[in-house]
Structure formats: structure tokens, C-alpha cells
Amino acid sequence: GAGVSQSPRYKVAKRGQDVALRCDPISGHVSLFWYQQALGQGPEFLTYFQNEAQLDKSGLPSDRFFAERPEGSVSTLKIQRTQQEDSAVYLCASSLGTANEQFFGPGTRLTVL
């Protein structure tokens, strides 16, 4: 596709539910990043993939957060037992390599009630 796509665009979950957020990067982009953006703040790094390898997950806030990219293209960020503090916009970005410019998808706005 022309750009990074994410789905769903909006997700409302009840506290305790599991959610899965999908990211489809720009074709040919090796690197894929997940960020979390709270209202009024800049994006915060969550995790990074190079192809199918998750090379950095230092930003994941708890073990309830899990990400995968099994075939080196589409990635899924899963949040188990959602809490209200998980409410944020989750952004996916891709780039040709680690030192290259990153391009963001439209984001998924997660609201946990």
C-alpha cells in the first residue's frame, strides 16, 4: 500500500478485556516500531522489530503487553487484561532501516472503560 495502515482505528474495551491492534507497514520496510501517545504528550517508544525479530521491547510498560511480527510484515500489538491507564493512541511506524526516517500510520485510539 501507499502508507502504513492500522486497524481498528478506534477500540473501546471494558477493563479486563484483551485487545489486539494490527499494523501493516509500508511494503519493503524492514523496521517496524510501536509507540504509545497519551493526550498532550509526544509518542513514547514501546517496541521495535527488524523483519520478524523483536530486537527491543524495553518500552513495553508491563507483561500484559505483547507484540509479534511472525512473517516480517504485519505486526500485532496485544494488550491483555486492559486497564484504564492503557487508554491512549497506539501508533505504528515503519522505515527502511534503523537509521532511516520513520513513517507513521493513522494510529488506533484505545479507550478502556
Partner 1 sequence: QKEVEQNSGPLSVPEGAIASLNCTYSDRVSQSFFWYRQYSGKSPELIMSIYSNGDKEDGRFTAQLNKASQYVSLLIRDSQPSDSATYLCAVHAGGTSYGKLTFGQGTILTVHP
- 65 part of the interface to partner 1, by CB under 8 A: no
- 25 part of the interface to partner 1, by CB under 8 A: no
Largest CA distance in the chain: 38
Length of the chain: 113
Closest to partner 1 by CB, 59 vs 80, is 59
What is the CB neighbour count within 10 angstroms for residue 48? Answer: 20
Strands 44-50 and 103-104: unpaired
Nearest approach, Cβ of residue 6 and partner 1 (Å) = 9
- 101 part of the interface to partner 1, by CB under 8 A: yes
Alpha-carbon distance of 18 to 102, in angstroms, equals 28
Nearest approach, Cβ of residue 17 and partner 1 (Å) = 24
Specify whether the CB–CB gap between 64 and 33 falls below 8 A.
no
- 99 part of the interface to partner 1, by CB under 8 A: yes
- 29 part of the interface to partner 1, by CB under 8 A: no
Which grid cell sits at 2?
A: 501507499
Enumerate binding residues for partner 1 (CB under 8 A).
31, 33, 35, 40-45, 48, 50, 55-56, 59, 89, 91, 95, 97-107
